[in-house]
Structure 1
Amino acid sequence: MRWGRAAGPRSNQRPAPAVTVVGIAGLAILLTPLIALMATAPWGQMWGLLTAPSALSALRLSLASAVIATLIAMVLGVPLAALLAGGISSDRVRTAVRLAVLVPMVLPPVVVGAGLLAAFGRRAPIGSLLDSWFGWTPTYTFAGVVLAQLVVAMPFLVISVESALRSRDTDTEEVAYTLGAGRWATFWHVTLPMVRTGIGAGALLCFARCLGEFGATVTFAGNVEGVTQTLPLAIYLALIRDDRAAVAMSVGLVLVSVTVLVGLRRSWLPGLWPHSSDERTPPSD
């Protein structure tokens, strides 16, 4: 007997009216800030405000730091995710490592920034060594911006990649081992291609989190125009000086984020954009 699709409308799959109403209310809450920004934006002056030297400098710095932090997160985070997915045999150790990965996600970013200062400040253990050896510390520098973004955003990539690694089909890897491939060659040529969607999703989340980072950056790297002032910091400063510039830069940041999502929709992350045609048909007997 073959199970076909049910005839007629899919009314049995629709949520109850009360659930729909509450869901629409939740959507309204999410959209309200965006709609308010678009409604109050000075569209006639938008180009001039967005191309102001301070705005362009903050945008360039935000994009550069976010790209660098995301690339470093991929280099460090994918192996860390592999450890969590199967490289640690002890359950207690794996739990402790996962807890260490998750902590930056739940801590206030200001606390992360304070922790970075306690580690890399000029009088801090690591910072004092860097100062004595090289006469330099990452505080209040572009490197400090990247480091703050990396610590705050890398957990999003690690968790995404770990989930993809745990759900992968290991049969292909076993075949590669049988044919004589080593662990590194198998990981590089077989495992990573299988979880590329998870890596892409994690990289996108990491990049987006880097773009929006504020608390750890301002605490650890400061708010120096042209050096450490990212777009969120410039928006915060503009709220005190010029509301129009703040709204314009906010709209610009929204457009950059939407552009990233749309640009990666069909190339890297098809799994984040399910279609109705992806519905499964029950198997036949």
Structure 2
Amino acid sequence: MTRRRPPRSASADDLLTTLGLLTAKARQGAERQRARVDLAEALQREMLPESLPSAPGLQTAARYTPARDGLDVGGDWYDGFVMADGSLGFSIGDVQGHDVEAAAFMGQVRIGLRAVALAATDPGEVLALANDLLVSVARDLFATCSFLRFDPVEWVVESARAGHVPGVRATADGRCETVQDPGGLPLGVEPGEVYPVTRRRLTEAGAFVLLTDGVVEGPSVPIETGLARVVRVVAAGAAAAATAEQLAAEVMEAAEFTGHTDDAAVLVLSHEAAAGAPRPPSPPG
């Protein structure tokens, strides 16, 4: 009976060579992913405005931070600009999806909002026109958005919402709430969508804080819990007369408690009371 020779085991050199090839392949994949993330983040930061408009009695500030794990970058934005009638327009939003494609689409949405705001000043009309524009280009992505118009003459804020997380409003006497105004579908979903507008005269000093869901939601933190935390932060900041910059930094710091796996953006408008508006009664001392 002939005994079959057992197969020859791989030598140490063969194993090292195989391991080296696998390591190089893994490194190349990681480097490609890192390059895509770096590109997405660079696109995001380059597309965000260098500064925001302000007015006498109105301070503005914003913050943006990428996802904590560095992999989900590209969807969030904020913006502010002077509109055709001299009022100030502000937007904040979140593109569905991440990576380079989302960053590029975010730039299209932001530029589209600015473009349609040259023909319309009503926030609901601005969102409706931008929505129809995005639907017409037949992209697979969509975006949630809040658009706010500040009138420096009437001292009025008008706002509309397209499927976006509610903002937070506070007054200097410590009152604070989430702004649960009615809204419409996200931009780019259905043509002809209508976006209701809410109008407020700023009779008391305070702040509006607009944010994206990365600020208030995380893997183990539901959005209601995150919003409640931001409400507490904004209420305390408004009562202490914090500047817009201070308030934006404090809200973004609160976002760290969510362990957010999404990027996050905050936009703050801190305002004085309208001229001639009656002062609220002082709290009993």
Q: TM-score range by the shorter chain?
A: under 0.3
Query: Please, what TM-score do these two structures have when normalized by structure 1?
Result: 0.24
Query: Please, what TM-score do these two structures have when normalized by structure 2?
Result: 0.24
Structure 1 or 2: more helix by fraction: 1
Greater RCO (Cα-Cα under 8 Å, separation 6 or more): 1
Larger Rg: 2
Structure 1 or 2: more strand by fraction: 2
